[in-house]
Structure 1
Amino acid sequence: MSVDLWSGALVDAAIWHGRSGDVSRQFRYRALYAALPLEELEQGLLPLHPDRRGLWQLRRRDYGQRDGGSLLAFIRQQLAPVGLEHCQTALVTLPRSPLHGFNPVSFWLARDEGGLRAVLSEVSNTFGETHLYLCHHPDNRVITRSDRLTGDKLFHVSPFLPREGRYVFRFDAGPGRFGAWIDWIGADGDVRLQTSMVGPARVLDRSSLRRAALRHAFQPQKVTGLIHWQAAKLFSRGIRYKTKPPQLDQSQSDVTKPETKNV
């Protein structure tokens, strides 16, 4: 039976980064994500409850405005300017451990009876900063698996890449799976970094959540450690470290332009 992300699910994600240009390098690891319908989450109807202690935790202050407020109210506020605030929403994210929480990127999904209409990509860096990329078509038509949406890169993520250039986003919201592809195109117009997070969805219930929490209790520490390990490898290969620039005042941007170049 195919699992709907909007019913609550666990996503066994295979994560891949491929860098080209100054150095050719690939980076792979696996992580277990949770897909959480936000109305049910806020009503306490899911096995994973917000702000409750446990091996796996979801803290409201780790997302959105970082003020501990309603996650559902936050995403509706983000969708309202483009007329999508009445969509059904779900959050695909990496739950935190009791001692540590870090999400390189979380995806807020919005759909209606026609299909996926928008994805808010909440990107975080290891300096404690975030940026929101709201991906949708200008006319809010359904986002299909083959659609590519592009927008300017406005947020410093890696100390080995400049902040300039643009991103190309692509999404697959199932049913039965989740996929997100984000490519970085440099100022020269060439694809310099390709990333993907793809995996099948399975049922989220009390039993599967308990097993996931026991087997993957320290996922955030693992992800943070892998990021720093890969950074050390790039540095050892002579890739120049770029000092972090001051974060831009603009903390949210729209990603609406179709990408016509085959990337």
Structure 2
Amino acid sequence: MTAPAIYSTRIRHTRIEPVRNSFDYTSYSWYVDVDALPRLPRWLGPFARFRAEDHLEPDPAAATDTLRSRVDAFLAGQGVDLCGGRVTALLNARVLGYVFNPLSVYWCHDADGSLRCVIAEVHNTYGQRHSYLIRPDGDDRAEVDKQFYVSPFNDVSGRYTMRFPEPGDTLSLNVVLHRDGHGPFTATVRGTRQPATSRTVLRTQLRTPLAPLVVSARIRIQGITLWARGLPVMARPDGRQKETVQ
């Protein structure tokens, strides 16, 4: 089993055109073994609750709905069987009943411990989610076609280049969206690992209180700012438009 950890993170978003804009913010993420989710003391419980329904889609055949059963169900749909291999995940927990996971990453290993594939799960600010199965090369890089509407300023065209090395003492994730005729949109996550002790959890809450709610609010504020600067809004696939953005 992988011991749970907390990464203090800095997330940065950069777009080149048609409006040049860059912003970053601090937050934190949990790094967990999906078969051994953290159990905190009761007095800390409201600040970190892990619920299967916050991630992926359920397996209708599973006797119990767990994060592991959801991972296995998604992989089975892609023709992948880990044969019980370890799955670690970087994600956000619920804080005072609220959770927002712009990006969750699952590192999926075979029974011998070798990395088989990675799941990148994306949530937008409209309450929708989508998961990509990626198969990194020897440099932890992979490419995948964009299939999910995340930002009202980018349609679903384009291709992602992703680099998701497994976290160690530090965390370094990179996502670049390439679209024909457009400059790239880049998102990075950098972090430093700390053991998930009660003291660390408390210190993290004091430093970045209500982090999921704050991140969601910051994303919406940035979207409104870009809209006010004249960045054109792309219709959602269902024809609706909104001014909020990731």
Q: 2:175: which partner in 1?
A: 182
Q: 1:199: which partner in 2?
A: 191
Q: 1:97: which partner in 2?
A: 95
Q: 1:214 to 1:69 in 2, by over 3 A?
A: farther
Match for 2:23: what amino acid? Answer: F
1:10 to 2:6 alignment: yes
Q: How far apart in 1 are the matches of 2:39 and 2:56? A: 22
Give the Å deviation of 1:196. Answer: 0.7
**What's the TM-score, normalizing by structure 2?**
0.84
Q: 1:132 to 1:85 in 2, by over 3 A?
A: farther
Give the Å deviation of 1:90. Answer: 1.3
Q: 2:48: which partner in 1?
A: 56
Q: Any unmatched runs of 5+ in structure 2?
A: 240-246
Match for 1:152: what amino acid? Answer: D
Match for 2:73: what amino acid? Answer: Q
Match for 2:24: what amino acid? Answer: R
1:156 to 2:155 alignment: no
1:36 to 2:32 alignment: yes
Match for 2:195: what amino acid? Answer: V
Q: How far apart in 1 are the matches of 2:65 and 2:113? A: 29
Give the Å deviation of 1:176. Answer: 1.3
Q: How far apart in 2 are the matches of 1:180 and 1:22? A: 25
Q: 1:154 to 1:48 in 2, by over 3 A?
A: farther
Give the Å deviation of 1:202. Answer: 1.3
Q: How far apart in 1 are the matches of 2:8 and 2:203? A: 13
Give the Å deviation of 1:132. Answer: 0.3
Q: 1:252: which partner in 2?
A: none
Give the Å deviation of 1:85. Answer: 4.5
Match for 2:94: what amino acid? Answer: R
Q: How far apart in 1 are the matches of 2:155 and 2:201? A: 39
Q: 1:12 to 1:85 in 2, by over 3 A?
A: farther
* Matching of residues 247-258 of structure 1 within 5 Å: none
Contact 1:96 1:219 in 2 (8 A): no
* Matching of residues 1-263 of structure 1 within 5 Å: 6-41=2-37, 46-48=38-40, 53-65=45-57, 69-80=65-76, 81-112=79-110, 115-137=114-136, 143-144=137-138, 146-188=139-181, 191-246=183-238
Give the Å deviation of 1:170. Answer: 0.5
**What's the TM-score, normalizing by structure 1?**
0.79
Contact 1:14 1:29 in 2 (8 A): yes
Give the Å deviation of 1:191. Answer: 4.5
Give the Å deviation of 1:208. Answer: 1.6
